[in-house]
Amino acid sequence: MRSFWEQESWLSFDVAIVGGGIIGISTAIECATRHPEWRVLLLERSLLPTGASTRNAGFACVGSVSEIASDIDLMGAEAAYVMVQQRLQGLTLLRERCKHYDIGYREDGGSEIFLEDHQSLQRLEEVNQLLYPIFGSDVFSQRNDLIKAHNMSKNIRTLIHTPFESTLHSGKLIASLWAMATKLGVHIRTGAEVVSTDEGNSSVELLVRTAHQDVAIKAGKVVIATNAMIPSLVKNALLPEILPGRGQVIITKPLTNLALHGSYHFDEGYYYFRALGDRVLLGGGRNLDIEGERTPLHTTTELIQTALEIMLRTVILPTHTDIEIDLRWAGTMAFTTTKQPYVAFVSTHTLVAFGCNGMGIALSSTVARDCANLLV
């Protein structure tokens, strides 16, 4: 039996947010900022956030030229334009939110490399013209001089550069958002896995599993922000399809004379790499086993890890002989069929927020804003 004090102060909230990744924490911050009178709870199943937000590559990007050209074909120029605009707005919001924190933001520009000819290379002008009103200048330009300057493989045929791409330190970002939420009075509980929700007339009861006991917590509204894990909590016909996509990553030990600068995309975004101090972080290869990588498991596979290492040694760092892999990991992205994030009530008191489609750094702040708008 619960005491009165436990019920009043520990087990009932105005809003409970499930999932301590970038969407969950940003939503908690939005709610606590707009409604200081609300009791806001954030529940994270692990001791620390262990979803995509602390397993990603830290690209603060609006899209590479091949990706935007493919979006134009897929959804039309207007929708592709709006998507880029949303990403830029999201990054502006995120930077504004974090302006007093060190999130390792570096405006070093980004590049897309091509080993062969690609149809998007004939569309630079079209993409630049489309995006001109957003950036006020050309976004992409051919800069083959950077292939040699960055000491990459001579087999790279074309390099397209943009000054409008940045990188950040994902660990510092999430820690900063976490600190901000705490400062705003958000009640953060880690080691707290929500195993079920039961919606009543005026509130939702969450069954929360901890190492010590199961606890029932009541909330007026619930936001489920558990990324590709949402279907295990929400069994509702209104929930659109969520396609999990695992991303595998490696990072080198410190290297001498590293010439890489900024961030890089390759193979239509299926590979991405960046300099992180004197290390190289490389991820991707999902296209080698699309079906096998549709999983929320955080394990790595030999097939993809080997492909990443080959790419690292032959394309990215062909002149380095001191390459050692320091860490390997994997995380899961949530893709939607529309390529757009999804934020909506799936029942009277339960909202879901997911589907950053591999662009959570750029999109999570607007997703959080949309959540808070719906929660009034």
Ligand X SMILES: Cc1cc2nc3c(=O)[nH]c(=O)nc-3n(C[C@H](O)[C@H](O)[C@H](O)COP(=O)(O)OP(=O)(O)OC[C@H]3O[C@@H](n4cnc5c(N)ncnc54)[C@H](O)[C@@H]3O)c2cc1C
CA 112 → CA 66, 252, 283, 313, distances in Å?
8, 21, 14, 18
Within a 10 A sphere around the Cβ of 336, how many other Cβ atoms?
16
Does the footprint of ligand X cover residue 273 (CB under 6 A)? no
Which one of residues 7, 46, 92, 373 is an interface residue with ligand X (CB under 6 A)?
Answer: 46
Neighbours of 66 (CB within 10 A): 22
**Judged by CB, which is closer to ligand X: 188, or 356?**
356
**Binding-site string for ligand X from residue 48 to residue 67, where x marks contact by CB under 6 A and - marks none:** -xxxxx-xxxxx--------
Q: What are phi and psi of 141, to 5 degrees?
A: -145, 150
- Least distance (Å) between residue 168 CB and ligand X: 9
Return d(Cα 346, Cα 145) in angstroms, integer.
51
What's the closest the beta carbon of residue 246 comes to ligand X, in angstroms?
7
> What minimum distance in Å lies between the beta carbon of 205 and ligand X?
15
361 touches ligand X (CB under 6 A): yes
- Enclosing H/E stretch for 45: none
Question: What size, in residues, is the chain?
Answer: 376
Least CB distance to ligand X at residue 291 (A): 17
Quick check: 205 binds ligand X (CB under 6 A)?
no
- The residue (of 10 and 138) whose beta carbon lies closer to ligand X is 10
Among the listed ranges 105-113, 142-150, 251-259, 357-365, the one in contact with ligand X (CB under 6 A) is 357-365
Cβ neighbours of residue 215 closer than 8 Å, sequence gap 6 or more: 11, 192, 207, 208
CA 246 to chain centre: 12
Q: Which residue in this structure is represented by tokens 């009103």? A: 133
Does residue 251 interact with ligand X by CB under 6 A? no
Query: Which residues sit opposite 350 in a β-bridge?
Result: 222, 347
173 binds ligand X (CB under 6 A): no
In sequence order, the β-bridge partners of residue 280 are 275
By rule CB under 6 A, what count of residues binds ligand X?
41
Looking at the Cβ atoms of 121 and 174, the one nearer to ligand X is 174
Question: Least Å distance between CB 191 and ligand X?
Answer: 9
Burial grade of 297 (CB within 10 A; 0-12, 13-18, 19 or more) = exposed
* Nearer CB in complex with ligand X: 72/282: 282
Site for ligand X in 70-129 (CB under 6 A): none
Residues 295-354 that bind ligand X (CB under 6 A): 331-333, 354
Binding residues among 13-42 for ligand X as defined by CB under 6 A: 18-24
283 binds ligand X (CB under 6 A): yes
Among 188, 359, 371, 372, contact with ligand X (rule: CB under 6 A): 359
Contacts of 303-308 with C-beta under 8 Å, sequence gap 24+, read: 304/248, 305/248, 305/250, 308/248, 308/249, 308/250, 308/271, 308/282, 308/283, 308/284
Taking the C-alpha atoms of residue 83 and residue 63, their distance in angstroms, rounded to an integer, is: 9
249 binds ligand X (CB under 6 A): yes
Sites for ligand X among residues 137-166 (CB under 6 A): none
Show the site string, 182-201: x = touches ligand X by CB under 6 A, - = not.
-----------xx-------
Cβ proximity to ligand X, 58 vs 123, nearer residue:
58
Q: Is 265 in contact with 316 (CB distance < 8 Å)?
A: no
Interacting residue ranges for ligand X, rule: CB under 6 A: 18-24, 43-46, 49-53, 55-59, 193-194, 225-227, 229, 233, 247, 249, 283, 331-333, 354, 356, 358-362
